[in-house]
Amino acid sequence: MEIIKLLGNFLKSELLNDLFESYDVDVIYEYDRLNENAPDSYSASIDSLGLEFSFDSEQVLKTIFIQNRAHVNGVKIFHSVEDAKSFSNNNSLSFEQGTSKFLGNEREWVKVFFTGHSIHYEFQNATLQLIALEHGGA
């Protein structure tokens, strides 16, 4: 199954239920403990696959974080920001790019916009470290 097809599904959908039951996944409910009008959210992870799932207050899967590329099916892998930009230009896809520093580590990123979703690629020391699939897009 292509992992992108999970985006936009409800937490209790058959697709996600089957996946989470297969890996004995616990779902964490995060509520507004401090009464700051923050929306509730839900999260889950499959550590053995390097996957983390983030759901909104409506229990819709909004983001999938991928740390272990070996288990990615249906996601284009790039070896550099330049590769991602070239792919985007060749396929008439819009993208954003930038740099940041987090915990003393320089990070370079590019976010490619597809119909219905976007994919954020993060590089450290010119090596792909994290992929984030996000529901929605251009």
Q: Could you tell me the pTM of the whole model?
A: 0.91
Within 10 Å of residue 118's Cβ, how many Cβ atoms?
A: 21
Instruction: Give the model's pLDDT for residue 105.
Output: 85
Q: Determine phi and psi for 98, rounding to 5 degrees.
A: -175, -175
Instruction: Give the model's pLDDT for residue 74.
Output: 85
Q: Which amino acid is at 97?
A: Q
pLDDT tens across 37-96, in order?
A: 889 999 999 999 999 999 999 999 999 999 977 667 889 999 999 999 999 999 999 999
Which residue from 135, 136, 115, 132 is spatially nearest to 50, judged by alpha carbons?
132
The token pair at 111 is 């976010």
